[in-house]
Structure 1
Amino acid sequence: MSDRVEGGHGGGVPDVGAGQIDDDVARVAHVVELVDHRSLEDVQRLLVIRRMKPLGFTLDEMRALRAALDRIAAAATSGQGAADARGVLAEFHRRAEDSCARLRTQLAYAEELTTILGEHATGA
């Protein structure tokens, strides 16, 4: 009995048992899970950067915030390490709030200007 089964394109495919297929599926599922988890982390990192950029944070500050978030997320972080990371996050939170307030003011000015220009453009 051959250990290969002929495929439609003339090449051979290994003849494997159900146990081997189950093992292969489990391995592939594990790899996909790892890739999905890593991809999710990458997306989350990019979202943090995207959210920080309009608020005027530098790349170094973005890295510092990401490091603080990572320390808090790490199961081993406790005690002073977690407290320090939370202190960093509190400062970033305060600065983000200040930036949001400035942006709200700028948006209000822009909306006022848009209204004035619209009134003049339509002759109202």
Structure 2
Amino acid sequence: MKTNLKTRSGNRIVVMFDGKQIGAVQSVRMNDDYSPEPMSGIGDIHVQEYVPTMARHNLQVQTMVLNKGSMREAGITMENGDGVLQGLVFDIEVYSKDDGTLLRKYTGCSYASGDLEISKHAIVMASGQFFALDVVGTIV
């Protein structure tokens, strides 16, 4: 018998705060932009190299479920802008459903904007945008 690793399906996307899972994501679109700027020499208009100037990691999330109990235990209660000013950040991690391997990890994620739905036992984010400080791992 042989394992087919050409396609990964059914990956698991989790939200971690201080090493503890506080939620899960059904779908995420990850964008990494390194803002390359053209560099050329004095008197030469031809670009010699594109130099990265700023790493921007943007995550667009669709359907994220956060566990209210886990969030309370972790001390996360961002009701308004005052709560956001506390600077609480978390990680979004993508794991292979096949063998549990960490495929991609966005660290220091901050909530930027989105739509929330609050119902019993859970906070469901219909869509949201997050900015991360850094990323490790490769999806392929």
Do the structures match in fold with TM over 0.5?
A: no
Structure scoring higher RCO (CA < 8 A, sep ≥ 6) equals 2
More helix by share: 1
Q: Which has the higher strand share?
A: 2
Larger Rg: 1
TM-score, scaled to structure 2: 0.19
Q: TM-score, normalised by structure 1?
A: 0.21
